Chains A and B, each alone.
Chain A
Amino acid sequence: MLRPRLIPCLLIHQGGLVKTQGFKSPKYVGDPINAVKIFNEKEADELIVLDIDATVQGVEPNYALIAKLAAECRMPLCYGGGIRHADQASKIIDLGVEKVAVSAAAVQDHALLTRMAEAVGRQSVVAVMDVRKRTGLFAKGYEVCTHNARTAHKLEPLALALSLQEAGAGEIVLNSVDRDGWMKGYDLDLAVQLRPALKVPLTVLGGAGSLADIGKLIEACGTVGAAAGSLFVFKGQYRAVLINYPTAQQKDQLFAAAMGA
């Protein structure tokens, strides 16, 4: 049986590993390479590493750091942050990374995904959509944003996801800005809307506070990617830094309970 994927998502800021809340107030949680080593030992399903500085600062991806991460990582690795051209994606794949994630550049120019898919194959092209609830009088629904949620776009998440898939994305990551770091559960409404409409795998990020939250996502969506930051780096109500990840047995129990298998 193809299993849901439980994916730690690590954020890089000023060379260190951080965790944000609502995309703000990054808290330092440790060294990225050390975190990868621990997730190796825990045999995590996949890893997502996002450099949250590169796009807003308009700088190139930190290839030296990516090479170090890739060399250390014994599970599939997805890197995102600062990618604007297909040749950057090729370079990152050559460093030993399985998947390359783009957000801002793909929202602005969907054809980037087409060029990336031609260069590295669509199975290695991931489109990340940062989504938040519209606020204000008469506002309803969601909006897509980029640049660490500092830029909003008048785009519906579902329509955009379908366009990104059409353009060449082999996976869509749905990232909830509002829920980021609060550990109160995923945005199931939006996930349930997207999953059946998409032909490519969906990964949901933002809000997971417990394995039970992951169970609820799987119950709602079936075989999905369940990504989380805080859940896998914090322990307890005081958010003490402790990298953790369920065992194979814990995962199987979680899947069996959620999928009725």
Chain B
Amino acid sequence: MIRVVDYGVGNIQAFLTIFKRLGLPAERARQASDLADATRLILPGVGAFDTAMRKLNESGMRETLEDLVLTRQVPVLGVCVGMQMLAGGSDEGQLPGLNWIPGRVRAFADHAASSSLPMPHMGWNDLHVQEGHPLFRDFEPEPRFYFLHSFYFDCESREQAVASASYGLVFDCIVSRGHVHGVQCHPEKSHHFGAQLLKNFATY
């Protein structure tokens, strides 16, 4: 069962709808006991980094999630701010992140190359993906995804940065460390490109 972690932040319904259409069983998890049957985890998130971290910390699910991901190696996909939460921390806030993938979340506004561009980075952009990665199986050439964010994940390890996009500067938009994955763009709102990525995550 795919469990979409509902800690009060993010668009849970969009994931459930798309998995239903893909014929893959998925349910939301509102409390730790809902996570018991999880074989895949989706960690959504929108809004401010600290708000999302605080809500996850207060959800009563963090300990169970850490057990599932770190001990039982259940694959997890963080999306948007849910991806940023996988980092050690963010320039947007003070709270520490989950630190499941070493890196730091930075602001486009702090870079000369992107600071003069409209913020947030909003719309459809091209992805440059690492060939052969299981998340990108059966991808069409020139994949494009929907983005809506002002901060981005700066991954410590180049091997763990598996896709990039460009907005003034080239930034890591998909990170992957073993069974822990994060995507900055919104696969749940990226038509057939996004559906393929979610299917790949759920079935690899």
Give the interface of A toward B (CB within 8 A): 1-5, 40, 43, 45-46, 70-71, 74-76, 93, 95-98, 120-124, 170-171, 198-202, 223, 225
Contact in complex: A123, B149 (CB < 8 Å): yes
Q: Complex Cα distance A4/B125, Å?
A: 10
Instruction: Give the size range of B's interface with the partner.
Output: 20 to 34
Contact in complex: B118, A1 (CB < 8 Å): no
Q: Which of A3, A93, A121 contacts B123 (CB 8 A)?
A: A3
Contact in complex: B118, A199 (CB < 8 Å): yes
Q: Complex Cα distance A141/B20, Å?
A: 51
* Chain A residues in 8 Å Cβ range of B124: 2-3, 5, 45
* Chain A residues in 8 Å Cβ range of B167: 2
Q: Complex Cα distance A202/B47, Å?
A: 20
Contact in complex: B125, A74 (CB < 8 Å): no
Q: Mark B151-178, 1 if CB is under 8 A from A, else 0.
A: 0000000000000001100000000000
Q: Complex Cα distance A98/B147, Å?
A: 11
Main SS of chain A's interface residues? loop
Q: Confirm or deny: B99 has a beta carbon within 8 angstroms of a beta carbon on chain A.
A: no
Q: Which 6 A-B pairs have the closest CB atoms?
A: A121-B47, A96-B13, A43-B191, A123-B120, A201-B118, A201-B122
Q: Report if A170-B120 is in contact (Cβ < 8 Å); known contacts: A75-B191, A76-B146, A76-B189.
A: yes
With contacts A70-B14, A75-B146, A201-B122 known, what are 6 further pairs, Cβ within 8 A?
Answer: A1-B125, A3-B124, A4-B123, A43-B191, A120-B46, A121-B48
How close is B92's CB to chain A, nearest CB, in angstroms?
11
How close is A188's CB to chain B, nearest CB, in angstroms?
18
How close is A65's CB to chain B, nearest CB, in angstroms?
15
Contact in complex: B18, A74 (CB < 8 Å): yes
Contact in complex: B11, A93 (CB < 8 Å): yes
Contact in complex: A2, B191 (CB < 8 Å): no
* Chain B residues in 8 Å Cβ range of A76: 146, 148, 186, 189
Q: Complex Cα distance A201/B149, Å?
A: 12
Contact in complex: A200, B119 (CB < 8 Å): yes
Contact in complex: B46, A124 (CB < 8 Å): yes
Give the interface of B toward A (CB within 8 A): 11-14, 17-18, 46-48, 51, 118-126, 144, 146-150, 166-167, 186, 189, 191-192
Q: Which residue of B lies closest to A248 (CB)?
A: B144
Q: Report if A98-B148 is in contact (Cβ < 8 Å); known contacts: A74-B191, A202-B118.
A: yes
Q: Which residue of B lies closest to A251 (CB)?
A: B124
Q: List 13 A-B contacts (CB under 8 A).
A: A2-B125, A45-B124, A45-B146, A46-B146, A70-B13, A70-B14, A76-B146, A96-B12, A121-B51, A123-B47, A123-B148, A171-B122, A225-B123
How close is A96's CB to chain B, nearest CB, in angstroms?
4
* Chain B residues in 8 Å Cβ range of A202: 118
* Chain A residues in 8 Å Cβ range of B121: 2
Q: Complex Cα distance A137/B13, Å?
A: 53
Contact in complex: A43, B148 (CB < 8 Å): no
* Chain A residues in 8 Å Cβ range of B191: 40, 43, 74-75
Q: Which residue of A lies closest to B46 (CB)?
A: A121
How close is B166's CB to chain A, nearest CB, in angstroms?
7
* Chain A residues in 8 Å Cβ range of B192: 43
How close is B9's CB to chain A, nearest CB, in angstroms?
9
How close is A78's CB to chain B, nearest CB, in angstroms?
11
Q: Which residue of B lies closest to A122 (CB)?
A: B120
* Chain B residues in 8 Å Cβ range of A98: 11, 148, 186, 189
Q: Complex Cα distance A93/B11, Å?
A: 7
Q: Report if A3-B46 is in contact (Cβ < 8 Å); known contacts: A98-B11, A199-B118.
A: no
Q: Which residue of A lies closest to B15 (CB)?
A: A96
